[in-house]
Homo-oligomer: A and B are copies of this chain.
């Protein structure tokens, strides 16, 4: 690895740039020659993290919950009381405001959206047939965008900032336009920006006037407990804030243990006003006779309490923090001073958001792919996969082992600088090592 140059690439003379580019190309060719096969595409827990929850495999002990209910049988649409109590404490709500469901909060979001389309939210008419738009901060979570798009719901973007979304922009959008029916947000350790919404911004979202009387906030609390440092962000209590502002039915919160126990076999929860909970259950009763209560009991016994969840998250932090540090080290070593990239240093969550030189994100991803490093497609953090600046790349360092993260990120850094140098030189140099397509 070469040490980072001290001056921005844009300050180089043509000869210096040519020399820099040649050096990076050689480094890249060497990278390709290594034949790596690494994957930073998705926010998946690693095997080591999943192992932390293997106590689940020997649970539950017995098959009755604290109320004597046989969890093996049908029933109990709201989920086990004890699990709802644990999540109520974690999410700052009351147990009767919590529904414990299946293995996926994404599915609970989907079911909520579908019922708003077909039956209307608790305080409105069916959205289907109306002109419906959603506000989404960008960069954001691709699965939120694709779900909305799949139902033909237009997405209006606002910038994500260091303390949450641009609330002034949201306020301006929603106050006069009744077609803007909702917004989606990852409030804590946002995907991918890593930022946590401030109390002030959360309070403004709770209180802002909306032209749509049935405006909804999908509050995707996927990373509420997923700290990377000892300074733990407290997730804002949007439900109380909205209630205090006279908008109790505005927010629906979602969370899960997908990145606490097992990504594929955890438990998900929905939390909201009691009216929203009753609305959800009223419709969901036709779709289900009840969640997998055996798996819920398994989780109740595994955690024991809300504190058990918090304690468990410390073990995740100990595995994840070095990987996130490795991302930063690798990027800084290669890119500091070049003036062609910046990236987040998140204190929680699952992602690093990397902004490269405008117009080169797709090229970086393609170069990395040809070198055996799979990255999330450029643009994935924007609706319809379209990053207007072709700038943002979402890095997901959780899944590979530490040495792989180090190798992959050194390679990514090389790709970032090579793509920038090519761009400044006004051309892509075609060689055998250049990826085809894309």
Which residues in B have their C-beta under 8 angstroms from that of A143?
A: 286, 289
Number of copies: 2
CB of A229 within 8 Å of the partner chain: no
Binds B, one of A6-14, A208-216, A261-269: A261-269
Q: A283 contacts B150, CB within 8 Å?
A: yes
Give the contacts of A94-139 with B (CB-CB under 8 A): 102-104, 106-107, 110-111, 114, 117-119, 128-129
The residue in chain B whose Cβ has the minimal distance to the Cβ of A129 is B129
Q: B74 contacts A263, CB within 8 Å?
A: yes
Q: B292 contacts A103, CB within 8 Å?
A: yes
Assuming the contacts A129-B129, A264-B293, A294-B262, asked whether A288 and B104 have C-beta atoms less than 8 A apart, the reply is yes
Which residues in B have their C-beta under 8 angstroms from that of A102?
A: 102-103, 292
| In the complex, per-residue mask of A295-314: 1 if CB is within 8 Å of any chain B CB, else 0 | 10000000000000000000
Assuming the contacts A102-B103, A128-B118, A294-B262, asked whether A287 and B147 have C-beta atoms less than 8 A apart, the reply is yes
Number of A residues contacting the other chain (C-beta, 8 Å)? Answer: 52
| In the complex, per-residue mask of A52-73: 1 if CB is within 8 Å of any chain B CB, else 0 | 0110011010010000001111
| In the complex, per-residue mask of A357-400: 1 if CB is within 8 Å of any chain B CB, else 0 | 00000000000000000000000000000000000000000000
Q: B286 contacts A147, CB within 8 Å?
A: yes
| In the complex, per-residue mask of A233-260: 1 if CB is within 8 Å of any chain B CB, else 0 | 0000000000000000000000000100
Which residues in B have their C-beta under 8 angstroms from that of A107?
A: 287-288
Which residues in B have their C-beta under 8 angstroms from that of A50?
A: 63, 70, 72-73
Shortest beta-carbon distance from A4 to chain B in Å: 36
| In the complex, per-residue mask of A10-46: 1 if CB is within 8 Å of any chain B CB, else 0 | 0000000000000000000000000000000010110
Task: Name 17 interchain pairs, CB-CB below 8 A, sorted by A.
Answer: A45-B73, A50-B63, A50-B70, A58-B58, A72-B264, A72-B265, A103-B291, A104-B288, A110-B288, A111-B287, A119-B150, A128-B129, A129-B129, A147-B287, A264-B289, A264-B290, A265-B295
* A45-B73, A57-B294 given; 20 more Cβ-contact pairs under 8 Å: A44-B74, A47-B70, A50-B63, A71-B264, A72-B262, A76-B264, A102-B102, A102-B292, A104-B287, A106-B287, A106-B288, A111-B287, A118-B118, A118-B151, A119-B150, A128-B128, A128-B129, A264-B294, A265-B293, A295-B295
Closest 8 CB pairs of A and B: A110-B287, A265-B294, A72-B262, A50-B72, A74-B263, A103-B292, A147-B286, A265-B292
